[in-house]
Structure 1
């Protein structure tokens, strides 16, 4: 039946054209944004996963910054330890020289005092972002320092942080109290008791070494110098161990930093597989829809013109 009130062909053509235009709009949005799933309306499950993982990646970016800060702090501490080892080596050389007969101990002590001042300067200046792992006083006590190493999310969605920990008591070179050097701690200030050495009689003896920073040989006997040498050697061993520990921690930080960077890249790629648009596919689809749109417009035009053919029946 032909009707001038209802053009069924035009209605059908218009419906098809609307569907084509809607598909074209969605395809154009994907091409312009680069996302197949841009909002929850596109795919709620994928959008939710992508949003969560992007948030986690932002947290991992902060973790990477924290690892960089930790690496800088350990680098400074390591540099201070190795520099101090060189200075203490010189003190050991001076003590050896002072043990020779006829050496002016007062002049040697002046050199040792300068070296002690250098050790104090190294320890005080080895600070990064307010953290000093080799110089401690009441305002900067020794203790366990934590470096944020990773951000974790378990299967239940619970989040947590992994930390790398280090006790600065192991690397503390100088410990100060309200009155001066504190002989209860610090590799260079700690009092060392029962250090064995060979005395002037060739016997094995023991005594108390007051610390590298408290060495004073102006009135020292041969036995005193021998005890100081043994004490300095023990301090060097402790400094070497501390430098090795910090070096190992620094290596761990570098490994963790590389892992976090790789993990962030993997998460980015995983999210991309869920929500990114395939531009080759979308461009092909757009071309096909443009062709369908042109055909739809043509079909609608033909349907609208068909009603005018009725006029010929009344001529």
Structure 2
């Protein structure tokens, strides 16, 4: 049926042309913007996903900046620790040179003081943007990543950098202990640091006669003794002469009313006396040392061990050291303190107290730190009597203090005396190890930061590529489609023109 009111062909042609024009507009927009999804109207779901990922990319850019800032901060600290390590190595050379008495120790001390001042200057300057990792003990957190879970919840993660205190600060002692650390942590110790030495007595009992024999050994050096008579005084005098003839360092024997006394003035080393190979007609040989020792009769051997002259402050092998716990040792009238830093143990406490006492310059007093067989540590304090003959010894413990610096005691190094030079040689390795550990720790942290920074860069590139695959237009396809649509548009226009001409044919019916 023909109609001049309704042109169905024109309506169809017009709809096709509108569709072609809309596709043409979309294709031209893709070519102009480079995106197939430029707005939420293009595809709301994909657009939303792309915007979330774009926000993460922006956040990761900020994280990359944070990592770069952290890397620079750690690099400054690492460089400072390495330089301090080099200076301490040179300083150790100075201390070794000072062990020789035939040198100008005052000049060596001046060189040491200059290096110590330089170390202080390095510590003071080793900060980046106001943040120093070689002062204080509080950890520093560096923003390292974002984590988005399946529910869309975002959390941040950090890389924790432990500060390494390379200051020489003494710290500050905290309040009195509330849990009696002095008793629960410090196990043993004496009340006085004496200089007289340790004496072991050998008593020759009644009944020993001429030709009786036995072997007495002092620190493994044996003397085969045959009695010349039954007089204890003569026998003790003879034995003392034989022992003294051994020339053992710090060991001296004497006869006191028929009792053989063997005295050791060794600071940090004990000694042993053994009686064996007995051939006695009667009588006995008894060894006593502070109530220890034993009795040798017939063919029964006995031995006893004497302690070192130094007094011992032994620390627990089970108790825990917390940051801020302070430990003090009073020698004479002066108290020397060390306050624990993070992750320190009683070995660190003992070495810190040693450095404090050595720096106190108490005449005749020397110290040593030893690790016992059970894993505990002991601080040995010796008095050679060149100063006060008897020094009171007291121990205290507190908590909640401010930690001593990692190089605490370095300023007190004094090699102008024999005692100071010896103490410095023992302490310098502690300082050197502290600096080496700090440099190694910072190096490890910086490597971790660099790895994380590289990962963030790769992750950001992957996210950007993912966004591109979601929203970017395929320009090759769009170009080909544009040409096809332009042809379709021309054909659509012609089809619409033909359809519009259809009503004209109705006029022929009226001619």
Match of 2:150 among 155, 173, 179: 155
1:265 paired to 2:476:
no
Distance change >3 Å, CA 32–CA 266, structure 1 → 2:
same
Provide the secondary structure at the position in 2 that maps to 1:192.
helix
Match of 2:167 among 167, 174, 182: 174
1:193 paired to 2:335:
no
Q: Give structure 2 stretches of 5+ with no counterpart.
A: 173-336, 342-348, 359-365, 369-379, 383-406
Distance change >3 Å, CA 132–CA 185, structure 1 → 2:
farther
Match of 1:146 among 129, 132, 141: 141
Taking structure 1 as the reference length, the TM-score comes to: 0.85
Q: CA deviation at 1:176?
A: 4.1
Q: Given that residues 13 and 299 in structure 1 are in contact (C-alpha distance below 8 angstroms), is that contact kept between their aligned partners in structure 2?
A: yes
Q: CA deviation at 1:312?
A: 4.2
Provide the secondary structure at the position in 1 that maps to 2:123.
helix
Residue in structure 1 matched with residue 71 of structure 2 by the alignment? 71
1:217 paired to 2:415:
yes
1:250 paired to 2:446:
yes
Q: CA deviation at 1:184?
A: 4.2
Q: Given that residues 175 and 183 in structure 1 are in contact (C-alpha distance below 8 angstroms), is that contact kept between their aligned partners in structure 2?
A: no
Q: Given that residues 183 and 211 in structure 1 are in contact (C-alpha distance below 8 angstroms), is that contact kept between their aligned partners in structure 2?
A: no
Provide the secondary structure at the position in 2 that maps to 1:142.
coil
Distance change >3 Å, CA 102–CA 88, structure 1 → 2:
same
Residue in structure 2 matched with residue 306 of structure 1 by the alignment? 502
Deviations 1:125-156 (A, max 9, x none): 1111111111x3xxxx4201101111110111
Alignment of 1:93-108 (within 5 A): 93-108=93-108
Q: Given that residues 60 and 460 in structure 2 are in contact (C-alpha distance below 8 angstroms), is that contact kept between their aligned partners in structure 1?
A: yes
Provide the secondary structure at the position in 1 that maps to 2:353.
strand
Once residues 445 and 35 of structure 2 are traced to their aligned partners in structure 1, the CA distance between those partners, rounded to angstroms, is 42
Q: Given that residues 64 and 257 in structure 1 are in contact (C-alpha distance below 8 angstroms), is that contact kept between their aligned partners in structure 2?
A: yes
Once residues 33 and 494 of structure 2 are traced to their aligned partners in structure 1, the CA distance between those partners, rounded to angstroms, is 30
Structure of larger gyration radius? 2
Provide the secondary structure at the position in 2 that maps to 1:150.
strand
Q: Given that residues 338 and 353 in structure 2 are in contact (C-alpha distance below 8 angstroms), is that contact kept between their aligned partners in structure 1?
A: no
Residue in structure 1 matched with residue 261 of structure 2 by the alignment? none
Matched residue count: 295
Once residues 480 and 410 of structure 2 are traced to their aligned partners in structure 1, the CA distance between those partners, rounded to angstroms, is 78
Provide the secondary structure at the position in 2 that maps to 1:151.
strand
Once residues 265 and 63 of structure 1 are traced to their aligned partners in structure 2, the CA distance between those partners, rounded to angstroms, is 14
Higher relative contact order (CA 8 A, sep 6+): 1
Q: Looking at secondary structure, tell me which structure has more helix per residue.
A: 1
Once residues 121 and 161 of structure 2 are traced to their aligned partners in structure 1, the CA distance between those partners, rounded to angstroms, is 23
Distance change >3 Å, CA 29–CA 210, structure 1 → 2:
closer
Match of 1:164 among 137, 145, 159: 159
Distance change >3 Å, CA 175–CA 158, structure 1 → 2:
farther
User: Pairwise CA RMSD of aligned residues?
Assistant: 2.6
Residue in structure 2 matched with residue 200 of structure 1 by the alignment? none
Q: CA deviation at 1:60?
A: 1.0
Provide the secondary structure at the position in 2 that maps to 1:148.
strand
Q: Give structure 1 stretches of 5+ with no counterpart.
A: 198-202
Q: CA deviation at 1:225?
A: 0.9
Taking structure 2 as the reference length, the TM-score comes to: 0.54
Q: CA deviation at 1:11?
A: 2.0
Residue in structure 2 matched with residue 5 of structure 1 by the alignment? 5
